[in-house]
Structure 1
Amino acid sequence: MSDKEEMASDGSLNVTLTLRLLMHGKEVGSIIGKKGETVKKMREESGARINISEGSSPERIVTITGPTEGIFRAFSMIAQKFEEDITAAMTNSNVTSKPPVTLRLVFPGSQCGSLIGKGGSKIKEIRETTGAQVQVAGDMLPDSTERAVTISGTPQAITQCVRHICSVMLESPPKGATIPYRPKVIPAGAQAVLAPQQAFAIPGQYAFAHQDLTKLHQLAMQHIPLPSLGQSNPTFPGLDASAPTSSQELAIPNDFIGCIIGRQGSKINEIRQVSGAHIKIASATDGSAMRQVTITGSPASISVAQYLINARLSSVLTGLGVL
């Protein structure tokens, strides 16, 4: 029996649901399109309501409401748009293996147990049935009772995955009140510290698709275990150890150097391990408010290290990290 038939059998096709997505500004821009044409088309063709939160936060909430079939169509169109973005990003790069589309759902914590299933049985079933990767964050998002659920794969796999997630939502309603996650606004003046454009400025001939950078951000934010980056799963193509070695220097404010280093060097070691770059932090200089950080390695390794450092700064400035 197909997913559609399963859902039709319990009469859920007429039920209105709301799913929330967490997106970065660049992803939101892609969904909105020029003069709002893309999101307008998505609303008209899916029949779902698609609302995007306002504000100057680096993250935005995209709310999709409608009958389940309308939600599936909306997700299919969003995933397809991101797939097109990845293809376009790869056109001007040497990246050969295509990264999957990645979306982040914001999911009520009280329903996560049903999504995972006893001993992980439900989430395993979803992965095997759809071919999509599904990861549920261990911790609640700040000041909320919601967790991030990351799904990645082909647009078709993601749409099938959303079908299963909707089934879980209908079968296991949330328990108690849900406190929704609201992304925090970056304080004025913090943009200069983040230098977000560095995350996408890939030196030399290397380039990472935006979705790869999104995954790196998720690793930094959600503390996903590093073994998932092993050789059996080359998530980030282009990390070529034989590439020419170069150096890049960053200036980090003294007040934030601790969050880059982490307890007993845990964070800086994590960044070194993920990026493959050598990172040296200079000693504090009398009278200077900044510390010099030198990153050495291949152009791609340097870019990944820069991105993870920026993600770490961002997590602290927006209240998502711990100093």
Structure 2
Amino acid sequence: MEPNKVQSEGGLNVTLTIRLLMHGKEVGSIIGKKGETVKKMREESGARINISEGNCPERIVTITGPTDAIFKAFAMIAYKFEEDIINSMSNSPATSKPPVTLRLVVPASQCGSLIGKGGSKIKEMRESTGAQVQVAGDMLPNSTERAVTISGTPEAIIQCVKQICVVMLESPPKGATIPYRPKPASTPVIFSGGQAYTIQGQYAIPHPDQLTKLHQLAMQQTPFTPLGQTTPAFPGLDASPPASTHELTIPNDLIGCIIGRQGTKINEIRQMSGAQIKIANAMEGSSERQITITGTPANISLAQYLINARLTSEVTGMGTL
């Protein structure tokens, strides 16, 4: 028996994997209602299309198959995105149609071949396809991959992807590739006073449902006064919400990051939040300090949020997370 012949000239029998980085909204568009769109794409293109799991703002879409199946899948995705753009434009006054944009994730070891000597290859791709192609200068976080952004008309994108596939087949990745994995959107880390905070970068962000609460609290601060009526709507009641008090306990070893040098941080938090903040003296035998925050509900929420942000940057900055 003769060995399997691989048609290398067109690369038609070669199985290739292309990874795309998409925002949640784009992924939703590709999946479609009850997964109908992606099912149709899989059936019609013959390519395997996998979408990374996880509650992430970004997801990885992996397309695997013979090159012709990959091109068909790409064409369907590009046309679907174009359709989304057209639909979103029907509600807006903009007249010029923005280009379709796809982001590929490519091992850094193959990016040199995509760019070519002195940028010759990428220039040739731009000129021959009419698509815009950009290779990110930095690798994606915790990986050895870079983002390659292609934008243009669906036709230009498909031509461009074909050329990229050829380059990737001709120069396979060197060494081990650490694939990029998008980070989850939220990792609840700190709970305080019934508030959940999530860590994003170096900041503690109130959980989405908490944001609405904070917003509502902030809204309470500007009492609604009907026009022409200067007295408060309820005589005898002050227009601003009554001050309330909230207590927090903070471990001794973290209190320093909240107080800051000569009280700089705590003063900053007082000014930004508008709340009064008192830190109790260390009690003997106790490993925690009591913090009392007084002010309107919105002031208190803001002060808590700022204190948590300080704690979080301290905890994550120490590399213990």
Q: TM-score, normalised by structure 2?
A: 0.59
Alignment partner, residue 137 of structure 1: 136
- Deviation (angstroms), 1:187: 1.8
Deviation at 1:9, TM superposition (A): 6.7
Q: Which residue of 2 aligns with 1:29?
A: 28
Aligned length: 202
Distance 2:99 2:127 in 1: 16
Residues 231-270 of structure 1: pairs in structure 2 closer than 5 A: none
Question: What's 1:147 paired with?
Answer: 146
Does 1 or 2 have the higher relative contact order (CA < 8 Å, sep 6+)?
A: 1
Q: Which amino acid aligns with 2:133?
A: V
Shift of 1:173: 0.7
RMSD, aligned CA: 2.6
Q: The residue matched to 2:53 in structure 1 has which SS?
A: coil
Question: What's the offset of the Cα at 1:285?
Answer: 4.0
| Alignment pair present for 1:164 and 2:152 | no
Change beyond 3 A, Cα 1:141–1:75: same
Question: How far apart in 1 are the matches of 2:147 and 2:302?
Answer: 34
- Aligned to 1:164, the other structure's residue is in SS state helix
Paired residue type of 1:181: Y
More strand by percentage: 2
Whether 1:65 and 2:64 are equivalent positions in the alignment is yes
2: CA distance, partners of 1:127 / 1:163 = 13
The 3-state SS of whatever aligns with 1:124 is: helix
Report the identity percentage: 75
CA distance in 2, matches of 1:170, 1:23: 23
Structure 2 CA distance for aligned equivalents of residues 9 and 45 of structure 1: 24
Counterpart-to-counterpart distance in 2, 1:193 and 1:132: 40
Q: Rg: which structure is higher?
A: 2
Distance 1:60 1:89 in 2: 22
Alignment of 1:76-95 (within 5 A): 76-95=75-94
Q: Which amino acid in the other structure matches residue 177 of structure 1?
A: A
Q: Distance in 2 between matches of 1:61 and 1:174?
A: 19
Deviation per residue, 1:234-272 (Å, 9 max, x gap): xxxxxxxxxxxxxxxxxxxxxxxxxxxxxxxxxxxxxxx
Distance verdict in 2 for CA 1:183–1:155, change over 3 Å = same
Query: CA separation in 2, counterparts of 1:194 and 1:122?
Result: 46
Deviations 1:85-133 (A, max 9, x none): 0000000111111000001001000000000001100000000000000
- Which residue, out of 257, 261, 272, partners 1:284? 272
- Work out the CA distance in 1 between the residues paired with 2:207 and 2:131: 32
SS at match of 1:147: strand
Structure 1: stretches of 5+ with no match in the other structure: 1-7, 199-282, 292-315
| Separation in structure 2 between the aligned mates of residue 88 and residue 68 of structure 1, nearest angstrom | 30
Q: Deviations over 1:185-222 (max 9, x none)?
A: 122344965969x9xxxxxxxxxxxxxxxxxxxxxxxx
SS of the residue corresponding to residue 272 of structure 2 reads coil
Tell me the CA shift for residue 23 of structure 1: 0.5
Name the SS for the 2:12 alignment partner: helix
4+ long deviations beyond 6 Å: none
- Letter of the 1:140 partner, please give it: M
1:69–1:92 Cα change, 3 Å: same
Residue 173 and residue 90 in structure 1: after superposition, are their counterparts in 2 closer, same or farther (change >3 A)? same
Taking the aligned partners of 1:110 and 1:159, their CA distance within structure 2 comes to 23
CA deviations 1:7-41 (Å, max 9, x no partner) are x7724111000000001111000000011110000
Where structure 2 has 5 or more consecutive residues not aligned to the other structure, the ranges are 1-6, 189-196, 212-270, 276-298, 304-312, 317-321
Alignment-derived partner of residue 231 in structure 2: none
What is the CA–CA distance in structure 1 between the aligned matches of 2:86 and 2:111, rounded to whole Å? Answer: 32
Task: Give the deviation of 1:168 after TM superposition.
Answer: 0.6
